[in-house]
Chains A and B, each alone.
Chain A
Amino acid sequence: MMLLDMIKADNLAFFFSVLTIGFFVANTIFLIFSGIKKGIVLNTILSLFLTMVLLMLYATHNIVIFFALWEMATWLTYLLANNPKKSSKYLWASLLAEFFMLIAVARTVAYGSYDIAMVAHVDPLNLIMFCLPFIVKSGILPFNFWVTDLYTGSDKRFVAYLSAIIGKLGIFGILRVFLLSPGLIPEWFIYTFIYLAGITAVWATFKAVGSEDAIESLSFSSLSQVAFIFASVLLMNKSALIGGLVHYLNHMLIKMGMFMAVVYIWAKTGTTEFKRLGDFVSKMPFSFLFFLMLGISLAGVPPMGGVISKWFMYEGFIEESKLLAVLLFFVAGVGSFLYVYRLLHSIFLGRKKPSIGLVSEMNILAILPLAASALISFLIGVYSRPFIRFAAKALGMDFSEPRTDIGFAYIGIVSAVFGALILFAVVLWLLLPKHRYVPDTEGYTAAAYLPKDIQHWDYSYNFYAPVVRLGDKFVRLFSLDWLARFWKEYIAAIGELFRGIYSGSLKLYGFYLMSVIVLVLFLKEMLK
């Protein structure tokens, strides 16, 4: 079948295609059975179209077709997000970068080739221009300003797709180009963007920690993880690459599952703000369980899969002696504990809110994808070898046994220990009373001044204020709002200047006409 030929075009394409198809199927099953009725058909058709575009994108080696498909993916994302006002920053940032890619394509064509492998051969600047959309799509500084608007404004039926696949298209692009151009990548480019990605990861983590909305929190978390994967892929180190690809898979599963749970809650209650959610574990225990598993994976804790990929990525950075980068990503990783816990607690645990009346457990068919993602993530954690082999094959590497002899065995031991602890916890949970309700005055106020109104005395409100205060200046600096404001005023001033050209006076228009004739006369000197 033609589809099969496309998917099997080469190993890298196979990896990404399988993941994208798997995601699409799981997401569609979830959407159909989740009880969201409005707009599902259009969304599914457009998503199917987008998936086909992506499959073709993964398979092609022709730069013109790559460019066309990349641009189609950008526009389809814009249309699927269904919020022109908030997606406009995404649109112009992506388009700007894509036109630079077009110039790189044109220069490569002028150089004589249509193959991606040749892009870097024209000159290093060409490679950078070609890769600019990948950087923008991944949300690395200084292109991080569109991420939050797009994710929070996006149509909720699409936001899972956005986070799991689209956010990571840049990674695919970098892999595709860099793997085919060994030795031609300028060092300064790699260094600069690794550190920019590191700062982005820390910035996004701070923003996620300070967030009061589940989707916003998850979107910043996506950005942080993607920045990490981006940096490790950029490194072009064997361990980092494998770690990056496994983390791609992990992150896709995690975000797919978490967004499914949150979107389901949104569909039932109409809100995703932390202060309006709480104690959903009493109505949705299984969702809570899977969400918990995914959250643990996100934080990078064994025995879930997150630890495997992060391990390899850290190892890659250490091998290349990029210790500052390791520090940055480690800080981001530690921060991820904070927001994962916040998500878990504010939605599923904590104080009952009126919204609890509206939810019930997910339909078994709807919860199936969520369960599947949690279980696969668990599998990656405890039996990671086939996944690592899969990633290595995608990269064209031959991955034999690990080079450090304690590698796998160590992971196995840790997983076994954690497994035993979890087993113990499950046993306790089964035997002991399930939960108890406590009065409001036993709430924790997160070190902020006690608010006067008692309903704010709980985790769901301004929980991490100290952490947010700590990172406030840093976050504000890198949010680039100051730059955006300056730019907007500058463009507005130029616009006013040029509008004056068409001032409405007939004499002026006539003058323009005559001046053209006069100016052309000056050409006579050059024509003799």
Chain B
Amino acid sequence: MNLDFYALSIFLIGAGLAGIFLNRDFVKILVSISVLESGVNLLLISIGYVQGRLAPILFSQELKASAVGKVVDPVPQALVLTAIVIGLGLLAFGLSLAIWMAKNFETTDVSELKRLRG
């Protein structure tokens, strides 16, 4: 049911947020960000899901003609594709940040970042 998916996505979002706030290690925060984004993507897809329908891939002529009532909403799927790629980009950048952080601070502990304040 859609409700299950929604519940799961909210759980994932919550877990991601909790992970970001409760973790001290930057790499773990990155993982939590990924979890958060997975949750959001799941939410997005579940919005478009209608039970019993097919995936929105028009692989035959007859499907092309009368697709409307038979496939799930394709728009969220396109959105999620984009969002996953964006998440990938962010993650890659985050990891490079983690490397530079280790080089400059000798640690990836976020609570060591206390030089800029006031």
A499 and B20 form a contact (CB under 8 A): no
A505 and B21 form a contact (CB under 8 A): no
Q: How large is the interface on A (under 10, 10 to 19, 20 to 34, 35 or more residues)?
A: 10 to 19
In chain B, what residue has the closest Cβ to A498? Answer: B118
B65 within 8 A of A: no
A510 and B20 form a contact (CB under 8 A): yes
B66 within 8 A of A: no
**Closest approach, in angstroms, between the C-beta of B108 and any C-beta of chain A?**
12
The interface bits of chain B over 95-118 (1 if a CB of A lies within 8 angstroms of the residue's CB, else 0) are 000000000000000110111111
Q: How far is the CA of A511 from the CA of B17 in the complex (A)?
A: 11
Please give, as numbers and ranges, the residues of chain B lying within 8 Å of A514 by CB-CB distance.
17, 21
The interface bits of chain A over 101-129 (1 if a CB of B lies within 8 angstroms of the residue's CB, else 0) are 00000000000000000000000000000
Please give, as numbers and ranges, the residues of chain A lying within 8 Å of B118 by CB-CB distance.
499, 502, 504
Please give, as numbers and ranges, the residues of chain A lying within 8 Å of B115 by CB-CB distance.
504
The interface bits of chain A over 483-509 (1 if a CB of B lies within 8 angstroms of the residue's CB, else 0) are 000000000000000010011111100
Q: Which residues of B1-60 have CB atoms within 8 Å of chain A's CB atoms?
A: 17, 20-21
Which one, A503, A507, A510, A511, contacts B117 given CB within 8 A?
A503
B20 and A505 form a contact (CB under 8 A): no
Please give, as numbers and ranges, the residues of chain A lying within 8 Å of B113 by CB-CB distance.
504, 506
Please give, as numbers and ranges, the residues of chain B lying within 8 Å of A505 by CB-CB distance.
111, 114
User: Main SS of chain A's interface residues?
Assistant: helix
Q: How far is the CA of A468 from the CA of B83 in the complex (A)?
A: 79
In chain A, what residue has the closest Cβ to B20? Answer: A510
User: Main SS of chain B's interface residues?
Assistant: loop
**Closest approach, in angstroms, between the C-beta of B30 and any C-beta of chain A?**
13
In chain A, what residue has the closest Cβ to B114? Answer: A504
Please give, as numbers and ranges, the residues of chain A lying within 8 Å of B17 by CB-CB distance.
514
Q: How far is the CA of A502 from the CA of B111 in the complex (A)?
A: 14
Q: How far is the CA of A216 from the CA of B117 in the complex (A)?
A: 44
B20 and A504 form a contact (CB under 8 A): no
Please give, as numbers and ranges, the residues of chain B lying within 8 Å of A506 by CB-CB distance.
110-111, 113
Q: How far is the CA of A511 from the CA of B20 in the complex (A)?
A: 11
Please give, as numbers and ranges, the residues of chain B lying within 8 Å of A510 by CB-CB distance.
20-21
Q: How far is the CA of A499 from the CA of B20 in the complex (A)?
A: 25
- Scoring A502, A506, A511 by chain B CB atoms within 10 A of each residue's CB, the highest score goes to A506
**Closest approach, in angstroms, between the C-beta of A521 and any C-beta of chain B?**
15
**Closest approach, in angstroms, between the C-beta of B21 and any C-beta of chain A?**
6
B21 and A504 form a contact (CB under 8 A): no
Please give, as numbers and ranges, the residues of chain A lying within 8 Å of B111 by CB-CB distance.
505-507
Which one, A502, A503, A511, contacts B21 given CB within 8 A?
A511
In chain A, what residue has the closest Cβ to B23? Answer: A507
Q: How far is the CA of A514 from the CA of B20 in the complex (A)?
A: 12
**Closest approach, in angstroms, between the C-beta of A517 and any C-beta of chain B?**
10
**Closest approach, in angstroms, between the C-beta of B80 and any C-beta of chain A?**
23
B21 and A507 form a contact (CB under 8 A): yes
**Closest approach, in angstroms, between the C-beta of A495 and any C-beta of chain B?**
10
Please give, as numbers and ranges, the residues of chain A lying within 8 Å of B114 by CB-CB distance.
504-505
Q: Which residues of B50-89 have CB atoms within 8 Å of chain A's CB atoms?
A: none
**Closest approach, in angstroms, between the C-beta of A499 and any C-beta of chain B?**
5
Q: How far is the CA of A504 from the CA of B113 in the complex (A)?
A: 7
In chain B, what residue has the closest Cβ to A501? Answer: B118
Please give, as numbers and ranges, the residues of chain A lying within 8 Å of B20 by CB-CB distance.
510
**Closest approach, in angstroms, between the C-beta of B37 and any C-beta of chain A?**
16
**Closest approach, in angstroms, between the C-beta of B98 and any C-beta of chain A?**
14
Q: Which residues of A290-321 have CB atoms within 8 Å of chain B's CB atoms?
A: none
A504 and B110 form a contact (CB under 8 A): no
**Closest approach, in angstroms, between the C-beta of B8 and any C-beta of chain A?**
21
**Closest approach, in angstroms, between the C-beta of A486 and any C-beta of chain B?**
25
B117 and A502 form a contact (CB under 8 A): yes
Q: How far is the CA of A460 from the CA of B90 in the complex (A)?
A: 77
In chain B, what residue has the closest Cβ to A506? Answer: B110
Q: How far is the CA of A507 from the CA of B111 in the complex (A)?
A: 8
Q: How far is the CA of A315 from the CA of B8 in the complex (A)?
A: 90
In chain B, what residue has the closest Cβ to A503? Answer: B117
Q: How far is the CA of A507 from the CA of B21 in the complex (A)?
A: 6
**Closest approach, in angstroms, between the C-beta of B20 and any C-beta of chain A?**
6
**Closest approach, in angstroms, between the C-beta of B19 and any C-beta of chain A?**
11
**Closest approach, in angstroms, between the C-beta of A509 and any C-beta of chain B?**
10
Q: How far is the CA of A208 from the CA of B32 in the complex (A)?
A: 71
Q: How far is the CA of A510 from the CA of B19 in the complex (A)?
A: 12
In chain B, what residue has the closest Cβ to A504? Answer: B117
Q: How far is the CA of A502 from the CA of B118 in the complex (A)?
A: 5
In chain A, what residue has the closest Cβ to B21? Answer: A510
Please give, as numbers and ranges, the residues of chain B lying within 8 Å of A511 by CB-CB distance.
21
In chain A, what residue has the closest Cβ to B117? Answer: A504
**Closest approach, in angstroms, between the C-beta of A505 and any C-beta of chain B?**
7
Q: How far is the CA of A507 from the CA of B19 in the complex (A)?
A: 11
**Closest approach, in angstroms, between the C-beta of B10 and any C-beta of chain A?**
14
In chain B, what residue has the closest Cβ to A510? Answer: B21
Q: How far is the CA of A511 from the CA of B21 in the complex (A)?
A: 8
Please give, as numbers and ranges, the residues of chain B lying within 8 Å of A504 by CB-CB distance.
113-118
Q: How far is the CA of A502 from the CA of B17 in the complex (A)?
A: 21
If A502-B117, A506-B110 are given as contacts, then 11 extra A-B residue pairs at C-beta distance below 8 Å, sorted by A number, are: A503-B117, A504-B113, A504-B115, A504-B118, A506-B111, A507-B21, A507-B110, A510-B20, A510-B21, A511-B21, A514-B17
- Top-9 shortest CB links A-B: A504-B117, A504-B114, A499-B118, A506-B110, A510-B21, A503-B117, A504-B116, A507-B21, A502-B118
A-B CB contact pairs (8 Å), 23 listed: A499-B118, A502-B117, A502-B118, A503-B117, A504-B113, A504-B114, A504-B115, A504-B116, A504-B117, A504-B118, A505-B111, A505-B114, A506-B110, A506-B111, A506-B113, A507-B21, A507-B110, A507-B111, A510-B20, A510-B21, A511-B21, A514-B17, A514-B21
